[in-house]
Structure 1
Amino acid sequence: MAQAIPMQQQKHSTRLGGRAHTHADSDAEREYDRLRDLARAEASKRSACFDQAHDAYERGDGAGAKQLSNEGKEHAAKMEQYNKQASEYIFRENNAPGRVAEDTIDLHGQFVEEAEDILEARIRDAQARGQTHLHVIVGKGNHSANHVQKIKPRVEQVCRELGLQYATEENEGRMYINLAGGQVDGMPPLPAGKSGGGYGGSAGYGAHGSSQQRPPASQPQQQQQQQQGDQMEELEKKVLSKIFSKLGDCCVVM
């Protein structure tokens, strides 16, 4: 009988960086961690049920094996739900209007597979709207095992598969993708509307201050932020719902 191994349990080590939220918001970080912890707990329960189902099958207890297998599937569904909530939540937090430029996407907090699908959809959406480039926050891998970047190699793979040229920016935790199909010559430009002062940090554009610390946005800025928010919401609807149908599949070891 095949023994299922939960993919989410394996993918936990592929999360980008040590912090999922790239701005100073401990509440967001705690909520993200809570959801991922719940998903890991369900993954552990799923694995235990499948192990017990295997043992029951080996003993000739077909009914018991089926019951345990069904329980494992229930835990798998809960695991997918919690991971979906975590991915969507941190994506909204990190890419909220005013936190990143409209030509930028922040993949902090995503598992590698989640980041890949989100990026592919964002690239296709940007190309459809005539956008010429995309800045991608991939993290430096400072908090990953052996300080190895996990997201960046997958972003590079996506670019190669789509035939797009890319380059590492001055901040090694960021990448520039040319969506127009040409070469990337020299150092990539800064994101739209961002100065160098907030560009060098390894965790995005720096701390997210309170509304009292910010000057009021002008009407054009408000319209731009609303448009960016609408684009993010549309991207979520297109992509995030189908990511987890793929992640729900499990590897099997015979």
Structure 2
Amino acid sequence: MAAAGIAVTVGGGPIAVASDDEVVLGTTVPLTGAHKRSGTDTHNRYELAIRRINERGGFDVDGKRYRLTACYYGDNSHPLKAQELIGRLIYEDGVKFILGPYHSVQNRAVLATVKRNRVPMVDAHSIAQKQDNRRNGYAFAVAATPDQYFMPAREFAAAISEGFGKAANDLRIAIATQDDAFSQQVRAGVLSDVRRLGTTCVIDDQLPENFADMSVTLEKIKALKPDLFLVSGHESTAISAMSQI
């Protein structure tokens, strides 16, 4: 069998025609623009999954083995472009299975298209709940909702608190979140669990978009010494936060 073929298209053009033992997956990724770094990572992760599945002989449907191949269009980090290109994948390229684009805004933009055309889409990225329209029956999530992102860390900290000579309700939590729908729902989940677990939130900071310095928050951390520090944002936020911490 031939290896999976990859069609990475930024400006347009035909995709590779799949053989009768291949299933073509289509998506858009931000190969340029504000989300270029995350788009590249998304492309690489999809490719890793496809390669691993094909290395194991693909997958079985009613006794027949199929391999995966993928077509990517670059959406320039723009939701309307993502919507246009998902339409192209369906109408012009004949793709019958969609992988969710990177970023919740792009996902929201394409949901109506996959619903209208009854094409299944797998959301590989968490989507802000107010944008969640998966009840249409054609979009399927494989990630936790934003409010659940830090739940295991919070519950684990509460569970082991006695080992540090503290009761669970004596734990002090600090959070720093960006001001976007996704990150703010992460924050809402943290604050909900603070109430549920009886812990205390001693720092609740908002990080500006594309921030490069969190020294103000870190000075508060040094002064107040919380037991758990949670930071929510996108990839550039995480990199900046980790390097400064």
Shared fold, TM over 0.5: no
Structure number having the greater helix percentage: 1
Query: Normalized against structure 2, the TM-score is what?
Result: 0.30
Query: Normalized against structure 1, the TM-score is what?
Result: 0.30
Structure number having the greater strand percentage: 2
- Which structure is richer in relative contact order (CA contacts within 8 A, separation 6 or more)? 1
